[in-house]
Amino acid sequence: MSDDEVDYELLDLLRKSLGLGPPDPSAPPETKVLENAQFIYDNSIDVALDMHHTKAAAISILAQMKEREYSTKSWSAHALHPKAKDESTVNFIFTMDLLNFSFWSEKNEEERFSVKYGDESKSWTGYWSLVASLQRALDEDIPITTPTFWTDEEKCTEEVLRHVFRSDTEEEIPLLAERLQCLREAGEILEQEFDSSVLVLIEDAKGSAAGLVNLLADRFPCFRDEAIFERKKVRLLKRAQIFVADLWAAFDGEEFGKFNDMDKITMFADYRVPQMLHSLGCISYSPVLEKRIRGYGIIEPGHPWELQIRGCSIWAVELLRREILKLESDAKVNAVLLDFFLYDLAKEREKNGDEVIPHHRTRSIWY
């Protein structure tokens, strides 16, 4: 080879090392959520993490998870979650996570959107109001978890959806029109690309949790939870990731919930887990941001504050996971179980009336 000739093999290696050129099709799928969360944390000025409190929290969380024997089985143990290990549960989980966003209310517990289901003395709010609504609709023979139903504009109307999500109070479920839009869009994409089958969608991921997350984010706009932070596109993908996690938990890591790379799934950046991380001292806010949160002020979707809260929460749970594994290298703990546990803990403390910082208020379809 003369000095004037181009060494294309060397040039290709250089491009790959710099992250240039097309991605390697044979490389394992990566969601980039954790990588982007670290970028947000590294550039955050209004949200900080405290390693001293993180280490203390890791000790406490590990002890509590052991005491409660917390595992994937804890998911199915919830009264409202489906128990069957079949396609009906897959469809239920897909519908649930397609609509798993924005349940917070400015009203008090007696006036906010709530659903009575099962035990008539029990009123479900927040995320559980969604699950209760879906179970109630199925009991009423409304095929709310069937993708072909969503695309039928004569049967699946806004009026029908308003009935499915009817409240026991005067407040209706937030973003009802957006929920109908998500159902329509997802139904059409499933019909066009996956034979109207969520099972086909899962099969196309070839056993990869990250691959399934990427399929959802790439093919379904309503799962594409991305934003721009410091001029860089960042992926947070809360609902796409929680769909994979819920499958994994519902099927106890087997059948439709069997994935070879669950360690690539991060915490699901929402409202409650950041609130719990703040209570544990793992996360702190700048005075101006804390004032906004404590004053119940709205933070718009995509605002740097919102992205810092969400990104730093993902990174904080990752640091918690690492600290737990330092304490016990064979601990059966990943970011998914930590998220589930912290969410349940936040709801327990709320029920007990423990004083905590309010959750941040962002009205969005992403969480």
Residues that are catalytic: 270
Q: Using an 8 Å Cβ cutoff, are 147 and 98 in contact?
A: no
What b/e sequence results for 342-354 when a residue is b if at least 16 CB atoms lie within 10 Å of its CB, and e otherwise?
bbbbbbeebeeee
Q: Using an 8 Å Cβ cutoff, are 318 and 34 in contact?
A: yes
296: left (phi > 0), else alpha (psi -120 to 50), else beta?
Answer: left
Q: Which amino acid is at 294?
A: R
Q: End-to-end distance of the chain based on CA atoms, in angstroms?
A: 57
